[in-house]
Amino acid sequence: MIKYFFLFSLALLLKEAKSQDLVLEIEGIKPIKGEVLIAIFNNEEGFPFLTSKAIQLLKVIPNQEKAQCIVKALPFGRYAIALFHDLNADSKLNTNLIGIPKEGYGVSNNAYNTFSAPRYKDALFEHKPNSIQRINMKY
């Protein structure tokens, strides 16, 4: 019996983790009001701002220009993150008449394009042990 318990315990120790928390650090939040809405995508469909296609949605209430969010037990793999600073609490990224955002936004890898929305392939990152994603808000 002790032998089986020992083998079972050893198997648990040797089992490799398949997920881990992802630390998300958001910088350049201004003004310090509203909320930052975060969408995590595991494929290109819907990226960056069709949040109904995201695999996980999170919200951070900023109290300074930097905020941190912990994505709990995210399976290892490839992801892209899009977020925006929802100043008026309408849960959507407000834009002007030609589609330029009126509210701050950000994407993983800080993959911004000058004349179009960020591309999924540019924002794609590999989540592995001890991952940290730092995203700078763009206004």
Q: Return phi, psi of residue 110, to 5°.
A: 50, 45
Q: How far apart are CA 121 and CA 60, in angstroms?
A: 25
The C-alpha angle with vertex 114 and arms to 56 and 88, in degrees rounded to 5, equals: 50
Task: Give residue-wise pLDDT tens across range 78-136.
Answer: 999 999 999 999 999 999 999 899 999 999 999 999 888 999 999 999 999 999 999 99
Would you kindly state where each structural domain of the chain is located, as residue ranges? 17-136
> Which residues, 6 or more positions from 28, have their beta carbon under 8 angstroms from its beta carbon?
65, 104, 136, 137, 138, 139
The length of the chain in residues reads 139
Domain 17-136 annotated CATH 2.60.40: yes
Average pLDDT over residues 9-27: 75
Residue 2 pLDDT grade (very low, low, confident, very high; cuts 50, 70, 90): low
pLDDT, tens digit, 9 for 90 and up, residues 36-57: 999 999 999 999 989 999 999 9
